[in-house]
Chains A and B, each alone.
Chain A
Amino acid sequence: MLAIIKKEFLTYFKSMTGYIFMASLLFFVGLFFVMSNLLSLSPDYNTVLSNITFVFLLVVPILTMRLMAEETRQKTDQLLLTSPVSLTEIVMGKYLGAVSVLFLTLAITWIYPIILSTMGSVTWSEVIGGYIGFFLFGSALIAVGLFISSITDNQVIAAVATFTTLLLLWFIDSIIGNLPTDRIAGMIFAGVLAAAVAFIFYMATRNLFVSGGILLVGILAIAAGYIFKPAIYNGLIGKVLSWFSLLSRYEDFSLGIFSISPIIYYISFSGVFVFLTVRMLEKKRWS
């Protein structure tokens, strides 16, 4: 796995991608540092980090677009998949390779809080907490990009699809605010979910009987929920969609609060997408 991390990391700096990623991120950190710390005479560094989270929207697709897509297109995946390394090691290696570029970039930006500390009082615990949140937030977005890159063998498609997905994740909170919250809508949504699960199961196994069973059990469960505890359908759509709300979990960090639950959330979010990427590669071998 170490070999793959090393290769991915070095590949970023053999082409322009690594430099573009670092330059854009560093430029915006510097810009916001000057604007919100130096010019406004504020020692609060965490506002800088939370102000530039939007830069991830643009730079994460650049970082992740070629991760899997280019291997498939150049057929170099044949080398990786026929080597004595497991799929999980390959995917983890690629993921950590991309994440290490983010890590390196953030390490460079440490110069700003250090500059700040020479001129005023910096609460280091807040800064460290903010950096951990910022880093894990970026890592979670990279995991999404990694997964999308494994679906296609075209880098441009991977980049555009990643950008669109991240944009959707960005606006998910405002989308949630406009969704119906009544019980009927919640029930319909649950029904759609059950149907989707049954459909995915049918696509994977082609077993009509079991898929039908899953759908039936789902509908019965929804009906049972309505009879015994109808309150669960209140605002159900919003509740489910908010699982994907990465940005709302960042609020604590931007206020300088260090809490464990968003950290666990980001790490599990990344884990799920790394796992999905492994499944995607596995599926390609079986099709």
Chain B
Amino acid sequence: MIQVENLTKIYGQHVAVDSINFKVEPGEILGFLGPNGAGKSTTMNILTGYISATGGRALINGIDILEEPEEAKRMIGYLPEFPPLYGDMTVTEYLDFVSDIKNIKGADKKKSMEKIMDLVKISDVRGRLIKNLSKGYKQRVGLAQALIGNPRVLILDEPTVGLDPKQIIEIRNLIKQLGKDHTIILSSHILPEVSAVCERVIIINKGKIVASDTPENLSKGLGNSSKLSLRIAGQEKQVLRAIQELQGVKYAEAQGVREPGTIDVIVEADPNVDIRKPLFNAMSRASYPILMMKSMDMTLEDIFLQVTTQEKEVQ
């Protein structure tokens, strides 16, 4: 659906996007992750035809955005970083204008506007001037604008910025729901959001793609040994000794006392060894009750920090 080949954007001396390649399949929700200034917005602006690339090309459903811009733009709904709203218009007037420039006519226009306003829950503010709306509503009007004309591709630049937690969950669910019949690229620097919504993640840093995979695979690929965090009732020395005697334990480290009479321990096992059962049995025999045990898989945060600070290629 979307194909990006050797896309490059250079501002003067600064390389904002450095020959990136990726593909998005129809119906896929792709997360675009990266620190501020990594080139996320620039890439999105090129994909939507707002700015031109210095090199390479971007195809939307096989149509080059630079060669046949109008044809390609018809298939894209775009929510930029700052929603492009006219403060002096009411919500209805604004969506009406957007429908007009996207060439939606007649009865379809009214119906699709109603549907979209219901979908993003802005029907109750339809008559108000946009400049008087709260940030959350503005963001949703921006999203409504992107949905007008039912484009097959949605490009959303930080769609949940400025929303309260309840709204964030609503918008995430909406995006998931839209993902059933749309191809979506979504950028964010909020990691749980990406892992909650996206099927695939591209991490971009300094204009280059540093990782591209499903959120699960990314976690597995980097966290190649399994770590456990435990809270055990008992004395530090005895508990540690009991754990270290177990087979398959790489090391065990005490983390101090957080609850009186207990000890927090981090245990790392050898690769591909599940030590949870032996550990439980051993502690049980020695009557050191395990009060808490949780696995310390690498979160997306860890991966993000790792790939963006080390610039390590991850496959």
Contact = CB atoms under 8 A, between A and B. Distances in A.
B98 interface: yes
Contacts of A11: 86, 88
B97 interface: yes
A78 to B, nearest CB: 5
B70 A84 contact: yes
Nearest to A70: B86
Nearest to B90: A14
Contacts of A286: 51-52
B84 interface: yes
Contacts of A85: 70, 101
Contact of B52 (A4, A6, A285): A285
Contacts of A86: 69-70
A79 interface: yes
A7 B84 CA distance: 15
Nearest to B54: A286
B139 to A, nearest CB: 14
Contact of B84 (A14, A15, A78, A287): A78
B73 A83 contact: yes
A276 B202 CA distance: 40
Contacts of B85: 74, 76
A285 B50 contact: yes
Contacts of B50: 78, 81-82, 285
B78 A82 contact: yes
Contacts of B88: 11, 14-15
A241 interface: no
Indicate the member of B82, B86, B102, B103 with the most A CB atoms within 10 Å: B86
The size class of the interface chain B forms with chain A is 20 to 34
A79 B70 contact: no
B5 to A, nearest CB: 19
Given A3-B100, A14-B89, A78 B80 contact: yes
Contacts of B89: 14
Given A14-B89, A84-B70, A84-B103, A79 B82 contact: no
Interface in B227-281: none
Interface in A203-244: none
B74 interface: yes
A125 B98 CA distance: 43
Contacts of B73: 82-84
A7 B78 contact: no
A55 interface: no
B203 interface: no
A84 B73 CA distance: 5
Nearest to A76: B84
Nearest to B145: A79
A80 interface: yes
Contacts of A287: 11
B100 A82 contact: no
Given A81-B50, A86-B70, A74 B100 contact: no
Contacts of A84: 69-71, 73-74, 101-103
Interface in B93-108: 97-98, 100-103
Nearest to A4: B101
Given A75-B84, A78-B80, A285-B50, A6 B100 contact: yes
Nearest to A3: B100
A103 to B, nearest CB: 21
Interface string A81-111: 1111110000000000000000000000000
Contact of A75 (B48, B69, B82): B82
A79 B100 contact: no
B223 interface: no
Contacts of A81: 49-50
Interface string A276-287: 000000000111
A59 to B, nearest CB: 20
B109 to A, nearest CB: 11
A129 B304 CA distance: 70
Contacts of A77: 84
Given A3-B100, A14-B88, A84-B103, 8 more contacts: A74-B84, A78-B45, A79-B98, A80-B101, A82-B78, A83-B98, A86-B69, A285-B51
Q: Would you list the 8 A-B pairs with minimal beta carbon distance, nearest first?
A: A3-B100, A79-B84, A14-B88, A76-B84, A82-B48, A84-B73, A84-B74, A84-B70
29 contacts: A3-B97, A6-B97, A6-B100, A14-B88, A15-B88, A74-B85, A74-B86, A76-B86, A77-B84, A78-B50, A78-B84, A79-B84, A79-B98, A79-B101, A79-B145, A81-B50, A82-B48, A82-B49, A82-B73, A83-B73, A83-B98, A84-B70, A84-B71, A84-B103, A85-B70, A85-B101, A86-B70, A285-B50, A287-B11
